[in-house]
Amino acid sequence: MNISHICRPLLVSLGLLAAAGSVAIDAVPAHAASARTVSVFYYKVHMTDDSDSFGSGEITYHYSVNRDSTKLKHSGVWSHSSGGNYYNFLDPITFQTSASSVELDVMAADDDQDPGDLCSAALGNTPVPSAWNQGSNTCADWNTAKGVFSLPAGSGSQWVWITSPSGAIQFSVLAQIWWSA
């Protein structure tokens, strides 16, 4: 059975196979790094605009690394106002990787329903982290801050900011990334 039609797209996406080229399935590029431990701690959210005209937003945060569902944490619902700084009490996301960069993603969603709105997750009216986008409907406003950061050789750490684009809800997140060889 020839499974190259299944493996080829995966190997191309991982950078182990050139899109137009052909190599053996077990080939590894010479520049491949050995696996190392990486931890990401989402430290603080600065809420620029909570999307509520009156009062605080009822914000739920979804924190992810590389948009991997096994590296996803949820904050629960918090009352956060525009202009405020809010600190995260979730454990760091720690994993093994040989990648030379890491993508950080945070989605913030504000429950924006009004009395009489038929809003529920079952009806598909609330955003889901798998979308990692921005939008607004009668039930919610949401946006995603994201950034890709390099992981230099060896061990180290860096503080980074990611900021959501303009939208109904706007925020920035301060995170710390640690890596060790």
Where do the domains of the chain lie, and which CATH numbers do they carry?
1-29 (no CATH), 33-180 (2.60.40.150)
Q: Is the Cβ–Cβ distance between 142 and 97 less than 8 Å?
A: no
| Structure confidence by residue, pLDDT tens digits, 98-150 | 999 999 999 988 876 655 555 655 444 455 666 778 887 777 888 999 999 99
More confident residue, 68 or 150: 150
Reported as a pLDDT band with limits 50, 70 and 90, residue 28 is very low
Question: C-alpha dihedral over 85, 93, 89, 78, to 10 degrees?
Answer: 60
Say which residue the tokens 């180290």 belong to.
Answer: 156
Strands 135-136 and 140-150 come out as antiparallel
Pick from 14-18, 117-121, 151-155: least confident:
14-18
pLDDT, position 2: 42
